Amino acid sequence: MERPTLNIKICGYRKAQRYSVERSVRTALNIIQENYPEVQVIIQQISDLQEILKYTQVLLYPGLVVNGKLVCAGRFPKHQEIYEWLEKAIAEN
């Protein structure tokens, strides 16, 4: 059986915004990996405008993409929300 993979992209033009979202993502991942230790995680920070535009038209605020699907744009998600999105992505895997 293949290990489930979470491919997470943190989109943001500004480094500080990406960093803030990444902290929340890592907090959620700590919980995920306690409950799903077999999950493989890949995190990418996307700052290239053309790449961000592939997922969202919102450029002033960060976006979060999980397994190719935009789950949040234009705001800073809380780690509990992120946990729920990641858990759903695992279930869909």
* Domain ranges across the chain: 5-92
Cβ count near 21 (within 10 Å): 24
| Half-sphere exposure in the Cβ direction for 57 (13 Å, CA) | 0
Question: Mean pLDDT for the chain?
Answer: 95
Band of residue 7 on the pLDDT scale cut at 50, 70, 90: very high
Please determine, for residue 2, whether its predicted confidence score (pLDDT) is greater than 90.
no
Q: What is the pLDDT of residue 1?
A: 60
- CATH class, domain 5-92, is alpha beta
* E strand spans, the chain: 5-11, 40-46, 63-66, 69-73
